[in-house]
A and B are shown apart, each in its own frame.
Chain A
Amino acid sequence: MQTHKESAIISAETPLIANLDMCENIALIKEVHDNMSTVDAESLAVEILSVLGLKKISRKRVASCTKEEQFLVMCIRAMMTQEKSVMIKLPGEILGSLLHIQKLIQSMKKLNNGKEIFILDSLNHKKHYEGCECNIEK
């Protein structure tokens, strides 16, 4: 498993930037790390949002999106980084509940860009991940 420092973190402590819309939140990473122009980075962001059927929220800000939409945008943002893996820490804190976690994991699979995804959660929430096509390690 990669160490914490080699992973792009998704957690309640790394929220989306409130004064940027969803598209800008995603594009920011490419603009800063790959020096990609704003226009190119934003069209890439819209393209990826479209894969998940979230194009409609591309110009919305955090307050106008549901927790699930915010979570998926956070995942896309993490995928944009140059890190080899993505670490999701306690998704329940971001989502409020883990009822739809299986559906969200399926959505994340559509984004597959070769990065390993780790979900760090407490054993109490194990039942929410059962039946999911992923390894559960204690």
Chain B
Amino acid sequence: MYLIERLGEKTMTIFRSLFEIVRFILLVLLHVFKPKSYNPAMRMVLTKQIYFTAIGIIPIFMLMAFLFGSVIIGVVIYLSTEYSLQSEMGSIIVTFVIDEFAPFFTALLISLRSGAAVNTEIAIMSVNQELNTLQEYKIDIIDYLFLPRIISGVISVISLSILFALIMLGSGYIFTFLYMHMDFNTYKYLLLNAIDVSDILTLILKSFAFGFVIMLIPIYSGLHTKKDYTAVPISVLNGMIRLFIAIFFIEVFSLIIQSL
């Protein structure tokens, strides 16, 4: 009996928090379409957030994209030649880089860098009663705090995923040149013949979904921090776990959709 009670209680808690998250998402989406949300303060925060999330990270991001990208694309090219799949190499590279690796790896990097920062920032603001200040001075926290971060997350992940894919495809050429002595034109046509509109669409839609959750979940987690400084690391920890679960689900969901 006790076990059933515990199970029921746990299920109710899960459904309640799911309902709350869905409600929060709908509320945020409602504000996205309200022109009033885009006041000068919000636009200033949005500009700063895009700078911190997408621009500030570019040098280290490009370096990491080149290092990780080269190694992984090298393995893909090596394996495809090992298994005599040279004729399919273009499709393999395009599917692997554009559909899967670029958005996923970008999402991981942005989560670790900006997701954790946003979670901490909102949690500290909550503990410091700064959210109370905003409410008291009739400043909508969704417009001022959440919307710019979510929009910047979406813009940053989409643009950095495209950059990551371009760098990875570039380093792919270096490998094909060194390993297979393939000239640039052959490599270019190999990719151009393999690439499809659906690949670009997959990259953009996946990056959009990743960007949305990378900011939304840490914000939600930070907002629900208990009013104590010791609760801040717990909030970040929980936020990051939820975020990685969400990223995993988006990845699985996109694989299911693509396999249909």
A interface, CB within 8 angstroms of B? 8-9, 13-19, 27-29, 31-33, 35-38, 41, 77, 81
Inter-chain contact A31/B44, CB cutoff 8 Å: yes
In the complex, are the beta carbons of A15 and B40 less than 8 A apart?
no
A33 & B40 in contact (Cβ 8 Å cutoff): no
Partner of B137 from the list A29, A35, A36 (CB cut-off 8 Å) is: A29
A41 cross-chain contacts in B, Cβ below 8 A:
40
Whether, in the assembled complex, B82 has its beta carbon less than 8 Å from a beta carbon of chain A, the answer is no
B137 pairs with A77, CB closer than 8 A: yes
Chain B residues, CB < 8 A from A36: 40
Residue contact A13 to B132, C-beta cutoff 8 Å: yes
Contact B41 A31 (CB under 8 A): yes
In the complex, 10 of the A-B residue pairs with CB atoms within 8 angstroms, ordered by the A residue number, are: A13-B136, A14-B129, A14-B132, A17-B133, A17-B134, A18-B128, A28-B41, A37-B40, A41-B40, A81-B137
Shortest Cβ distance from A84 into chain B, in angstroms?
14
Contact of B129 with A38 in the complex, beta carbons under 8 Å? no
Contact residues, B137-158 vs A (CB, 8 A): 137-140, 144
Which residues of B approach A to under 8 Å, CB–CB? 39-41, 43-44, 121, 124-125, 128-130, 132-134, 136-140, 144
CB distance from A9 to the nearest CB of B (A): 5
User: Which of chain B's residues have a CB closer than 8 A to the CB of A77?
Assistant: 137
B129, A13: Cβ atoms closer than 8 Å? yes
Tell me whether A35 and B129 are in contact in the complex, defined as CB-CB below 8 angstroms, given that A28-B139, A81-B137 are known contacts.
no
- Asked whether A19 lies within 8 Å of B40 as measured between CB atoms, the reply is no
The A/B interface has a contact count, at CB < 8 Å, of: 54
Please name all residues of chain B whose beta carbon is closer than 8 Å to the beta carbon of A15 when the two chains form the complex.
128-130, 133
Q: Find out whether the CB atom of A38 lies under 8 angstroms from the CB atom of B139.
A: no
Give Cα A128 to B107, complex, Å. 57
- Does A38 lie within 8 Å of B44, measured CB to CB? yes
Among A16, A29, A32, A37, max chain B CB count under 10 A is at A32
- Taken together as a complex, chains A and B put the C-alpha atoms of A107 and B135 apart, in Å, by 27
Residue of B nearest to A40 (CB): B40
CB closest residue in chain A, given B134: A17
A13 to B133, CA, bound (A): 7
Residue A31 contacts which of B40, B128, B130 (CB distance < 8 angstroms)?
A: B40
B136 touches A9 (CB 8 A): yes
Instruction: Output the least CB separation between A133 and chain B (Å).
Output: 28
A38 B133 Cβ-Cβ under 8 A? no
Q: Is the CB of B128 within 8 A of A32?
A: no
User: A13 CA to B129 CA in the complex, in Å?
Assistant: 6
Q: Is the CB of A35 within 8 A of B136?
A: no
Residues of A within 8 A of B138 (CB): 32-33, 81
Q: Give bound CA distance, A38 to B125, whole Å.
A: 22
Q: Assuming A15-B128, A18-B128, A38-B44, is B133 touching A32 (CB within 8 A)?
A: no
Q: Name which residue of chain B comes closest to A33, CB basis.
A: B138
Q: Are B133 and A14 in contact (CB under 8 A)?
A: yes
Distance of A11 from chain B, by nearest CB (Å):
9
Let me know if B130 and A18 touch, CB within 8 A: yes
Report the minimal beta-carbon distance from B133 to chain A, rounded to whole angstroms. 4
Q: A81 to B136, alpha carbons, bound, how many Å? A: 11
Distance in angstroms from A27 CB to nearest chain B CB is 8
Are B41 and A8 in contact, CB atoms less than 8 angstroms apart? no
Do A16 and B133 have beta carbons less than 8 Å apart? Answer: yes
Residue of B nearest to A81 (CB): B137
A32 contacts which of B41, B130, B136 (Cβ < 8 Å)? B41
Q: What chain B residues lie within 8 Å of A31 (beta carbons)?
A: 39-41, 44
